[in-house]
Amino acid sequence: MPGRNIDEWIDRYLSVSFLVMKRGAALVKGSLCEEMTHDQYYLLRYIRRRGACTSTELAAMFGVNKSAVTAMTNRLVDKGWLRRDRDKNDRRVIVLSLTEQGEAWIAEMDRSVYRLVEEVIARFPEEEIETFIRTYERLARVLQEVEEAK
């Protein structure tokens, strides 16, 4: 009965992924300052790691509409954490990058979020952590492939 096993995995995955998403978001939000939301923290983190990028790229990366990115980046620009610059070579393109203030805020938030995640991670054996994260990263790639195939 291979189908039986797979359906059980699907059910367990769907149930647990929603739980972890919600509980994780609540915990992370509790570690952030009032001025920064959960989604803003992750978006700024992504831009810091990725370097300057465009709204089209962000929309594709996170599977949202470009207008959603415009709305989010508007708030981040208003707060002085993000900068918009026109691309010299292609004047349609707006390049997004962190401001110095943005770098400072995200570094500050990182400190408390890292403490939180460390507290969670510390409860797992090292090998289990490494194995889990590796599969998680593989899952992220597979989700992108599946999305592109549609």
Partner DNA sequence: ACTAATAGTTCAACAGTTGAATAAAATGGA
Partner DNA sequence: TCCATTTTATTCAACTGTTGAACTATTAGT
Structure tokens at 127: 């090998």
Residue nearer to DNA on the CB measure, 6 or 52 = 52
Residue from 118, 96, 108, 86 nearest 48 by CA: 96
Residue 146 binding its own copies, by CB under 8 A: yes
Q: Is the CB of 10 or the CB of 104 nearer to its own copies? A: 10
* Amino acid letter for position 63: G
Is 107 a binding residue for its own copies by CB under 8 A? The answer is no
The widest CA-to-CA distance across the chain, in whole angstroms, is: 60
Minimum CB separation from DNA for residue 71, in Å?
3
CA 120/CA 111 separation, integer angstroms: 15
Q: Taking CB under 7 A as the rule, does residue 48 contact DNA?
A: no
Binding site residues, DNA, CB under 7 A: 22, 26, 29, 37-40, 54-57, 62-75, 84, 89-95
